[in-house]
Each structure stands twice: as C-alpha cells, then as structure tokens.
Amino acid sequence: KNQVEQSPQSLIILEGKNCTLQCNYTVSPFSNLRWYKQDTGRGPVSLTIMTFSENTKSNGRYTATLDADTKQSSLHITASQLSDSASYICVVSGRNTGKLIFGQGTTLQVKP
C-alpha cells in the first residue's frame, strides 16, 4: 500500500534554532515529492518540489533533501523564526498512477 509517513508528529523548538523534519514513503513508482507549509486557518503554501533525480532543493531557510533509494526525504529549517510555526506536509506523487499521497504532517511550534 502506498504510504507517506512523517515524523515527528509535533515539535517545539526555540527561536533561532535549526530543526529537521522527516518524510518516509513507499509510493512506487515515484514521480515527485513536495513539501508544503500550512499556517493555521490557511491553505498550504508550496516550499519545494523535487523529482526523483534531485537530491536537494532550497527555498530561503528551507532545504529539502531526497534519497530516492531509501525513499526518505527531510526538510531542514535553519535559524527558525516565530513565523515558521505551522504544519509541514509531505506529498508524494506516484508516476503514472494519478495519485497524490499525503503525509499526516508535522506541527512545528517555534517559541521565543
């Protein structure tokens, strides 16, 4: 069964610290993997999109990595800010299947 699992489920860090969120998937064959940020009460915002041939992609203080062999991705947030408090969702697209599989998300809280 195609699945996307994210860890941790929730995370609390102090402002200015770095953190890494994990996403493991079993979707195969794989087309691309996306990370979204969703603030409470708002729609998700795209952070990064990676195809199976890409290993890393950055968007400001957000850096996503992908290991297609082990089917793992991570999202690294550098020098966290209070505005980084949100849910982070990993989404995997299956090649030729027309299906998007969503992770349950990681809720990040950045405290001053």
Rule CB under 8 A: say whether 103 interacts with another protein: yes
Dihedral sign, Cα of residue 21, residue 27, residue 33, residue 39: negative
In the complex, minimum distance from the CB of residue 82 to another protein, in angstroms, rounded to a whole number: 21
Task: Name the residue type at position 56.
Answer: T
Taking CB under 8 A as the criterion, which residues in 18-77 touch another protein? 31-32, 41-46, 49, 51
Rule CB under 8 A: say whether 1 interacts with another protein: no
Per rule CB under 8 A, count of chain residues that contact another protein: 22
Q: Which is nearer to another protein, 41 or 112 (CB)?
A: 41
Give the list of residues 6+ apart from residue 40 with CB closer than 8 angstroms, or none: 86, 87
Residue the block writes with tokens 């699992």: 5
Pair 58, 91: CB distance under 8 Å: no
Q: Where along the sequence are the contacts to another protein (CB under 8 A)?
A: 31-32, 41-46, 49, 51, 89, 91, 93, 95-96, 98-100, 102-105
